[in-house]
Amino acid sequence: MAGKSAISLAVAMAFSILPFGDVSSHATTDGVALVNLHQTFTDPAGSIVITGIIGDYGSVVGADLKGNLSQKSPTPAVLFKLKKGTILVNTAEMNKALAVAPAVQNDTCSFSVSGKTLTLPIIKGTGAYKAITGKFNASVASGGITPTLTSGVNKGKCDFSNKYPPVASFFTLIASGAVSY
């Protein structure tokens, strides 16, 4: 435990002495936004951080193309619920890219799928993002570990039936795009 504390303290000290200087001279005003989104299969709301011209954070949930929250899977859009407003993004291309059979590893009960560079057009925004336009170019990856069967002739083997949620999972999206608002 002492080793972990020492590492954490060293990392904290390193960040406390970084030479940020006058950060206003490095402010981004060219309209580029970088998006980092994380979600799991079992949690309907993921977390999102957008840096660059937007500089905001919050959660992300599935939605229909009008921005109404949706439990449908896959959803045709996602809603970035940020502190200063919302951004609705069309996910049609992403859904198509992820609608392939995942790579499966029977020895570890794990699965994964990734999408190449995808276009996520911005549909609309609210609040500070009411007039937002543009699109994000994203790469996505998802995967997880399935439960094992608890009875029958296949007891102990991986359950890839989709009957139960994965015991652990992830969905990660990294994107950048030119936006204006």
- At residue 178 the predicted structure's pLDDT band, cuts being 50, 70 and 90, is confident
How does pLDDT run across 62-85, given as a tens digit for each residue? 999 999 998 887 899 999 999 999
Per-residue model confidence (pLDDT) at position 49: 95
Per-residue model confidence (pLDDT) at position 161: 87
How does pLDDT run across 141-151, given as a tens digit for each residue? 999 999 999 99
Judged against a pLDDT cut of 70, whether residue 8 lies above it is answered with no
Judged against a pLDDT cut of 60, whether residue 171 lies above it is answered with yes
In three-state form (DSSP H/G/I as H, E/B as E, the rest C), the secondary structure along the chain is: CHHHHHHHHHHHHHHHCCCCCCHHHHCCCCCEEEEEEEECCCCCCEEEEEEECCCEEEEEEEECCCCCECCCCCCCEEEEEECCEEEEEECHHHHHHHCCCCEEECCCCEEEEEEEEEEEEEEEECHHHCCCEEEEEEEEEEEEECCECCCCCCCCCECCCCCCCCCEEEEEEEEEEEEEC
Per-residue model confidence (pLDDT) at position 24: 46
Judged against a pLDDT cut of 50, whether residue 15 lies above it is answered with no
Per-residue model confidence (pLDDT) at position 60: 93
